[in-house]
Amino acid sequence: MRKVKELVAGSASAAASVLRVEVETTGADGLGAATYQLLLGVRPERPRGLLDLHYLGEVPTPGGRRAVYDALAHPDTALLVGASLFPDRKFASAELQKGEQSNTSVVFDERFIFKVFRQLHEGANPDVEVTRALGSVGFADAAVPLDVWADGATDLGVLRTYERSLGSGSSLAATSIGRLLEEGRDPRVAKADLAADSRLLGATVARMHVALAEAFGAEPADGGSWARQMSAQLGRVGEGRLDAVRLAVMFDRLAAAQDLGQAIRIHGDLHLEQVLKLKKRWLVLDFEGEPDRPMAERRRTSSPLRDVAGMTRSYQYAAALALRERARGRKGVSADDRLLVTMWVERNMNAFLTGYASVDEVHRLLPQSRQSRDALLSVFELDKAVYELAYELAHRPELADVPAAAVAQMLDSDPPLPEFPAGQ
């Protein structure tokens, strides 16, 4: 434990106190040090209604035993935190956001959302830095910070406007595929067709890339640097899990290629769970980058096609999970089911790419030849699947077979993956 600070002191009106605790961890052999922060509620008794997963237990104190729990998981202490950090806002209600997240988020008054960063990094957090920059150049489809909670140069959390949505991209995709399988109809005439929304999402991502280039500038691509990052990520998976030799060949081709377009600041972890569908537009969230990559790597420039690959892989991942879920049900998965889902993936990926290409300004950031664009997108899709495998092995090992199968399928695809033009 590196630091303990009382954020909210107990009083007659607030029996609970809140501690901000920093915990420093190290990886194997003392490598991979990381600092995490926790907001802990401390009160005489366990709060009513608190779920077991948010309760740490009792600890002895000079004033007697006290219950310790996740301060943001209970409305009373979450409101104490909000009042302490943002006294001018006068929040009346607080609700912890559910679901699997790499950070902790609380919704205040259904008008504001406060994200507390779990892992701390010295300097501006990219989710603050990038969204501020996007707002400064007029990009309206990312939530800009209203207030930032910081300790010196280190960002601890960020307050934004809360947007009511129709759902995340991943939830809409799951609904679309589920209804498609129930109807058993061609995706083009299915009631929950997502293609129009996918096309709109592609255009939104392209405009985001144009805005990022305006905000941070663009520079010549460095295929060698990208290839080294991909090789480093492959090393994080561990030996024997992937065909490292064949993957290394793909990365070597990238290192030798010339027509690679421009390098810009990108989202870095773009997938269907990172976008919310509003009534007439998409909102892009969470610009921190992939959580299992080093922060220095997340802040580096890359090709816009890396984000595009994150989205195309996400459509494929949504389909694989839907089939996996159906296989667990009583009906199982038929050949017709697999064909329908394949058609759904192709339809929505093509719609997304069509929407992306409809933004004329983005083309100056991309490789100039179609062959180079296809080859670069394929390499980034491979790299994304390798990252997915490393992530799943670390966090959800029961799903590791999904990205592993995707890597194998891409390497053994017929026709084979496109190659960079010869002689470049």
Does residue 154 form part of some domain?
Answer: no
In this structure, are 89 and 178 located in the same domain? no
CATH of the domain at 272: 3.90.1200.10
d(CA 318, CA 172): 10
Q: Please give the model's pTM, rounded to 2 decimal places.
A: 0.92
The pLDDT of residue 11: 54
Closest CA to 325 of 402, 410, 210: 402
Does residue 137 form part of some domain?
Answer: no
In this structure, are 220 and 288 located in the same domain? yes
Last residue of a domain, one of 120, 150, 183: 120
Does residue 151 form part of some domain?
Answer: no
Does residue 423 form part of some domain?
Answer: no
In this structure, are 306 and 172 located in the same domain? yes
Does residue 113 form part of some domain?
Answer: yes
In this structure, are 250 and 387 located in the same domain? yes
Does residue 138 form part of some domain?
Answer: no
Does residue 144 form part of some domain?
Answer: no
What residue numbers bound the domain in which 240 lies? 167-411
Last residue of a domain, one of 51, 85, 120: 120
Number of domains in the chain: 2
Residue 176 near residue 344 (C-beta atoms within 8 A):
yes
- Residue 269 burial by Cβ neighbours in a 10 Å radius (0-12, 13-18, 19+): buried
Any idea what the Cα angle at residue 408 is, between residues 403 and 413, rounded to 5°?
A: 120
- The CB-side HSE value for 82 (13 A sphere, CA atoms) comes to 28
Any idea what the Cα angle at residue 400 is, between residues 394 and 402, rounded to 5°?
A: 145
In this structure, are 320 and 223 located in the same domain? yes
d(CA 125, CA 158): 10
Last residue of a domain, one of 59, 94, 120: 120
Does residue 152 form part of some domain?
Answer: no
In this structure, are 25 and 172 located in the same domain? no
Residue 332 near residue 323 (C-beta atoms within 8 A):
no
pLDDT tens digits for range 337-360:
999 999 999 999 999 999 999 999
d(CA 104, CA 286): 12
In this structure, are 54 and 190 located in the same domain? no
In this structure, are 92 and 194 located in the same domain? no
In this structure, are 242 and 303 located in the same domain? yes
In this structure, are 97 and 201 located in the same domain? no
Query: What are the pLDDT tens digits along the chain (424 aa)?
Result: 567 777 777 654 457 888 899 888 875 444 467 889 999 999 999 999 899 999 999 988 887 899 999 999 999 999 999 999 999 999 999 999 987 678 999 999 999 999 999 989 888 899 999 999 999 999 999 999 999 999 999 999 999 999 999 999 999 999 999 999 999 989 999 889 999 999 999 999 999 999 999 999 999 999 999 999 999 999 888 777 899 999 999 999 999 999 999 999 999 999 999 999 999 999 999 999 988 788 888 899 999 999 999 999 999 999 999 999 888 876 778 999 999 999 999 999 999 999 999 999 999 999 999 999 999 999 999 999 999 999 999 889 999 999 999 999 999 998 889 999 975 4
d(CA 209, CA 341): 29
pLDDT tens digits for range 383-406:
999 999 999 998 899 999 999 999
The pLDDT of residue 227: 95
Residue 223 near residue 255 (C-beta atoms within 8 A):
yes
Q: Give Rg (Cα) of the chain.
A: 23
